[in-house]
Every structure is written in C-alpha cells, then in structure tokens.
Amino acid sequence: MKNFYVTTPIYFPNANPHLGTAYCTIMADILARYHRLKKDDTYFLTGTDEHGLKIFEKAKQAHKTPQEFVDEIAVNFKKLWKTLSISNDDFIRTTETRHMKVAQSIFSKLLKNDDIYLGHYEGWYCVPCESFWTNTQVGEARICPECGRPVITAKEETYFFRTNKYLEQLKAHFEKHPDFLLPINRKNEMFNTFINQGLNDLSVSRTSFTWGVPILENPQHVMYVWIDALANYISALGYDSIDDQKFIKFWEQGEVVHLLGADITRFHAIYWPMILMALGLKVPNRLFVHGLIMTKDGKMSKSKGNTIDPFGLINLYGADVLRYYCAREIKFGEDGVFTPEQFIERTNADLVNNYGNLVNRTLSMINKYYDGIIPDFVSGVNKEDASLEKRCLDVIKEVDSLMEELKITEALGVILELVDMANKYIELTTPWILAKEQRHEALKSVMAHLAHVIYVATMLLSPVLVTTHAAALDQLGVDATIRDYAKLSQFGVLNQGKIVGPTPLLPRLDVTKEVERIKEIIK
C-alpha cells in the first residue's frame, strides 16, 4: 500500500468540454480507481483554470462578467465528470479563495527569495497562449511556435522568474529520474526545443488586464496564468495552510503523477519543477503526456466543426462503453483517430463478443448443469486447467506492472487476452460433451475455472467498466466481502457461490445503423 496522487490538467473553461477534454480525465480516473482497488490511499484532482485574457475576452463577447462566464462552464465540466462516473476527490477552481491565497503566497515567497524580479518585456506575444516569444521562435511568418496562431507586438512591465537559477538543478533531476517525463520522446522534445537552446527568464505577471490573481506587493499586476494555474496541484491539498495534512500525505509522502496534454508540456516539465525547487518542495514523481483524440479531419476544433459531444455518445451507449473505447482503442501516450466504425467494432469485438459472451455462456452452463451453484475449485482435473490457472496468476502480476508504468491500454489488452483464452478453453474442454458423457469431475472443474477467470477479469476491468463490472459480479453472485483485489489469486474463493442470471451485459450493436447515429452527433 502507498499514497497515490493523480491529477489532470485544470481545463480552460472558454468552451464546453468535448471528447478530447474528457479523454485525459477518463484515463486519470482509471488510474485512481485501480489504485483504490489495490487499497492504495488515493487522491484524484481535476478542475478548471479560470483566469487570463482569453477568459476575459470570451466573457465580454458573451455579455457576461468573467466570473459569470466561468461559473456556467465549470458546471458543465462537473456534469460531464458525473455522467462519466469520474471519481475525483476534489474539483479545484482557480477563482476560489483557497487557491488564490496559496498562489499569492507562492508568488510572495519567490519574490522575497529573489527568484522573481520586476522588469519590462517587449516582443512577440500570443494572446491565446498568453506567452511572449523571441524573433527566432516566431520566425518570419510571425507565428506562435506553441499553437500556430499569429502573434502581435507587445510591451509591458512584468515580473520575471529567474529560470537559469534552477536550470542545472532541473537537468540533474532529468538525469537522475529517467521516467520523470513520459513518453520518452517528450523529454527529447523539451531538451532539443527549449532547454538546450537556452531559456529566457519567464514573464510571470501582466498589467494589460485585471482578470487574474492580484500580486500582493504590487496590485497593478495580476499573476501570469501559469504560476496561478500550476499552483492548483498543491493549493487543492492545503499547502501553506493550517490544514496541510493532505499535502503532507499525498505530496510529500505520496507518489505524485500529473497527466497532461502536449501543448502544456513545457510549463509542466520545465517551469513547474523550477518553481517547486525554488520553494524547497518535492518535484512530481512523473509527468505523463497523453496523445490527442482526432477525427479524420485532424485535431478536434470547434472552428473546424469536428468536435464530438461526449454526452451524445454516453446517451446512446452508456459511460462504460465510452470509457473502454478511450482506454483500449487509443494507446495511452500516442495520438488516436476516432471513427464511428472503430467505436462500434471495438465495442462489439471486446465487450460483447469476447467478455460479454464469456460471462453469458459460463453462467448459462452453471445454471444448466449445477442449478446455479458454482462447483468447488479443484486443480489438475483437466489437462487444460493448469495453463489457465497459471495465466490467471500471471495476468494479475502483468496488469499491475503495466498499470504502475501507466500503460493502461496494454493492461487492458492483457485482460482481454485472458478472456479470449477462457473462451478458447471452453472449446477445448467441450463441457457439453463432458455433461453428455457424465464426466462430472471434469465438468465441475471447467465451470469452477471459468467462474474464477470471470471473477479475475471483471475485477481487473472494474476501473474502466464502472457499472458493467458490478452487474457482472452481481450475476456471478460475488459477495461484497470477496470483491477484493487481494483475493484474486485465491482459487476456490467462489466455491458454492450462487449465481444470478445471466442477463446480457451489453447489447450487440448493428454497425451500419450505429455509425449513422454517431455521425449525427459529430458537429
């Protein structure tokens, strides 16, 4: 057992969430649920990043105050997380007093320690990214290297963070902790594009707008969004407050994992560690950069009209199907393309034909041959039994190893391979022939082995299939006392259990019909 702290980036509430937004939160939730399954003391944070010029301008266009604007959008994020069965322990908003006080305290500490100084900045400025860039970085086209949009010239008084003061310490951290930033290509990108090119001091305040956290020592300045935003990971835990027990437990004494998108890697991998070093605090254990969910038209964008409403998919197929698709079809850490065809085919192949079919066939046979009572587990009766037992035990270990490495997609693949092996085991042992020939001991062994495989696979799938796994365990008659990760390797734990069912867990989908239905919700 350990303390485990997982976070999503705090999302920018300039528009309602779409499938790309939901993806990272689903993956973080799967990690959180898996660690809770193992009895790790787990804390899961998500939230919204609500300050900055972009929000101010969006609110103005909507004829609302910035606070009114973000309040409405934040409600929609919370609604989506509830609909997706997201189990976050907290939802931090950067407009909350608890956060703003911590952000101001951090800024004051950095200023007092001479990690921040007052100066002037003149250069190329990207409004959407709220970042200044050099001539070299924007090139002759005058394009932001981060988002590809045009930049403007700007000049203003600003506070700067002394990046070079902590550059060598940052390099040493990367060297000592090769798994700090994953996938590994992201580390190469940070060094080749930024660190090896030399870092400018980072502008950390603005005077050109007022929608932000005021700097206590100079209220004409508001905090630059990235110091404000990055502080959420510790403000939500009670850092620098009387009630800091969560901070001690999950940050100082826990494993800290930040999940983030590629577009904010620079701030998390370079500036956030530097800020923590300046504060004398622990640096996160791991940063993991997930890929993008794209459509055939490229990256999801409202301007392109190719976003996918997750509420629409959930209304049609349920949250579990969407959660499983995101985790299984799109390899965590790589980009993936959403197509309606893949969505339906993955659901049918894995959840209906493979997993659902195993549950339905097995429970039907236990009903037929043993009046719904799971026979006692006996090892070594059939020649195929030993390999299935070994695979069960190996899968538990392999899944744990993969999940610890944040390889969620690969872990699901291992679980489904076990399910597939069990379906093949049915064909190899031919229980219908065993029943006809009255080979009772062999038949009992087959039923007991199949029941245990379903138990193991279902428990391991529980972080993904939040509702479906519970229905499967109910049908298998698994008592609450043995819905326990520690019991998965205990063959015989289901002995004499009474099954209930079976009822199909998920319906088989008509590909042609469902593809057309999905196309209607892509807008």
The per-residue pLDDT for 122 is 81
- The whole-number average pLDDT for the span 34-41 is 98
**Could you read off the pLDDT of 63-81 as tens digits, one per residue?**
999 999 999 999 999 999 9
**pLDDT greater than 70 at residue 299:** no
The pLDDT > 90 percentage for the chain reads 85
Question: Higher model confidence: residue 406 or residue 145?
Answer: 406
Q: Which residue has the tokens 């999302």?
A: 11
In three-state secondary structure terms, 119 is: strand
For the record, the structure tokens of 334 come out as 């790589």
- Sheet of 41-48, strands arranged across: 90-93, 41-48, 3-7, 255-260, 286-289, 181-182
The pLDDT > 70 percentage for the chain reads 98
Rounded to whole angstroms, what are the CA distances from 234 to 256, 283, 360, 404? 11, 11, 47, 23
Please give the backbone phi and psi of residue 405, each rounded to the nearest 5 degrees, phi first.
-90, 5
The per-residue pLDDT for 135 is 82
**pLDDT greater than 90 at residue 140:** no
Report the candidate in 316, 319, 318, 300 with the shortest Cα–Cα distance to residue 308: 300
Please give the backbone phi and psi of residue 301, each rounded to the nearest 5 degrees, phi first.
-155, 135
- The whole-number average pLDDT for the span 399-405 is 98
Rounded to whole angstroms, what are the CA distances from 265 to 113, 182, 187? 26, 10, 9
**pLDDT greater than 80 at residue 39:** yes
- What band does 521 get if pLDDT is binned at 50, 70 and 90? confident
Question: Higher model confidence: residue 395 or residue 300?
Answer: 395
Q: What is the dihedral of CA 334, 340, 341, 345, to 10 degrees?
A: 80
The per-residue pLDDT for 323 is 98
**pLDDT greater than 80 at residue 304:** no
For the record, the structure tokens of 100 come out as 């703003």
Q: How many CB atoms lie within 10 A of CB 429?
A: 23
Please give the backbone phi and psi of residue 330, each rounded to the nearest 5 degrees, phi first.
-110, 110
**Radius of gyration over every alpha carbon of the chain, rounded to an integer in angstroms:** 26
The secondary structure element, H or E, covering residue 159 is strand 152-161
d(CA 11, CA 13): 6
The per-residue pLDDT for 131 is 75
- What band does 228 get if pLDDT is binned at 50, 70 and 90? very high
Question: Higher model confidence: residue 327 or residue 154?
Answer: 327
Domain edges within the chain: 340-487
- The whole-number average pLDDT for the span 511-521 is 92
Task: Report yes or no: 330 and 291 within 8 Å, Cβ to Cβ.
Answer: yes
Q: What is the dihedral of CA 61, 63, 64, 65, to 10 degrees?
A: 80
Helix axis angle for 357-370 and 408-429, nearest 10°, is: 40
d(CA 249, CA 424): 46
**pLDDT greater than 90 at residue 303:** no
Please give the backbone phi and psi of residue 417, each rounded to the nearest 5 degrees, phi first.
-65, -35
The per-residue pLDDT for 301 is 61
Average pLDDT in the chain: 94
- What band does 15 get if pLDDT is binned at 50, 70 and 90? confident
The secondary structure element, H or E, covering residue 31 is helix 19-37
Burial class (CB in 10 A: 0-12, 13-18, 19+), 404: middle
The per-residue pLDDT for 397 is 98
pTM of structure:
0.94
- What band does 137 get if pLDDT is binned at 50, 70 and 90? confident
d(CA 309, CA 364): 38
Report the candidate in 145, 32, 146 with the shortest Cα–Cα distance to residue 90: 32
Burial class (CB in 10 A: 0-12, 13-18, 19+), 105: middle
The per-residue pLDDT for 305 is 58
Whether a cis peptide bond, with omega within 30° of 0, leads into 17 is: no
Q: Which residue has the tokens 């870092």?
A: 199
The per-residue pLDDT for 447 is 98
Where do runs of H (alpha helix) occur along 128-231?
Answer: 135-138, 167-176, 184-190, 225-230
**pLDDT greater than 70 at residue 227:** yes
CA angle 259, 264, 266 (to 5 degrees): 105
d(CA 348, CA 344): 6
Report the candidate in 32, 59, 27, 57 with the shortest Cα–Cα distance to residue 44: 32
The per-residue pLDDT for 113 is 97
Report the candidate in 23, 32, 6 with the shortest Cα–Cα distance to residue 80: 23
Report the candidate in 26, 127, 27, 21 with the shortest Cα–Cα distance to residue 74: 21
Across 117-121, 173-177, 199-203, which has the greatest mean pLDDT? 173-177
The per-residue pLDDT for 522 is 77
- The whole-number average pLDDT for the span 351-356 is 98
The per-residue pLDDT for 20 is 86
Question: Higher model confidence: residue 21 or residue 131?
Answer: 21
CB neighbours of 117 closer than 8 A, spacing ≥ 6?
Answer: 159, 160, 162
| 340-487 CATH choice from 3.20.20.70, 3.30.200.20, 1.20.1050.10, 1.10.730.10 | 1.10.730.10
**pLDDT greater than 90 at residue 359:** yes
Task: Report yes or no: 386 and 450 within 8 Å, Cβ to Cβ.
Answer: no
Question: Higher model confidence: residue 128 or residue 415?
Answer: 415
